[in-house]
Amino acid sequence: MEIKMKISIIGAGNVGSALAFQFANKNHDVLIGARNIEADELKSLAAKSSKITIHSINEAIKPSEIVILSVPPYAAVEIAESNKELLKNKIIVDASNSVFKKPDPYKTALEGIKKVTGLDSVVKCFNSTGFENIENPSYGDIKIDMFIAGNDADSKSVVSNLVKEIGFEECYDFGGDDKVELLEQFAFAWINLAIIQKHGRNIAFKVLKR
């Protein structure tokens, strides 16, 4: 039996909105955290499902079990530092990529989040593909894969189960904190293929085994 959770998503851009809609469709309570809760795009997002509600950032974090930071890397670190007391005993998911601009003095947002909060329950996920693939992870009969990195095995297990619940075939463990930069470069490989090499955004990664 699937356990329904309270999931806060900080940032309602393309990735955050896609995740919100997917989790709401699975009957999770989704709390969107934003600085401007009156923004029209947030109202439109909340109108799509009764399971999606809009809050200030700290009010979204308070009751949640999982906090997904779907904002630029520097903002992820700032938000984590400002809310470090509220983030205790929660799983934090860094969905950002630092391939174009790093959150100085840190190499990745995950590194910064762990440093400013002192928390271990931080993982990297949802960064390695486009929002279109989060909205629909199926290519015909084939379900695509997601990837996750971080040191905390328990947090990775919880998030991996959510990934598969919203339609991905598998969520592959990419390794610990020492593999976060590599996972961001993997995301850059998707960006390169989809945008720079102009293969289009409906392109995805699938691991094959034999």
pLDDT tens-digit map of 53-99? 999 999 999 999 999 999 999 999 999 999 999 999 999 999 999 88
**100, pLDDT greater than 70:** yes
Percent of the chain with pLDDT over 70: 99
- Band of pLDDT at residue 206, cut at 50, 70 and 90: very high
| Mean pLDDT over each residue of the chain, to the nearest integer | 96
- Band of pLDDT at residue 2, cut at 50, 70 and 90: low
Residues 27-32, mean pLDDT to the nearest whole number: 97
Strands 142-143 and 145-149: what pairing?
Answer: unpaired
210 belongs to a structural domain: no
Full domain range(s) for residue 55: 6-196
203 belongs to a structural domain: no
DSSP secondary structure of 23-72: HHHTT-EEEEE-S-TT-HHHHHHHTT-TTEEEE-HHHHHTT-SEEEE-S-
**1, pLDDT greater than 70:** no
40 belongs to a structural domain: yes
82 belongs to a structural domain: yes
DSSP secondary structure of 111-138: HHHHHHH--S-EEEES-SS-HHHHH--E
**108, pLDDT greater than 70:** yes
Cα–Cα distance, 153 to 7 (Å, whole number)? 19
208 belongs to a structural domain: no
pTM greater than 0.75: yes
Q: CATH code at 62? A: 3.40.50.720
Token pair in block for residue 73:
């890397």
205 belongs to a structural domain: no
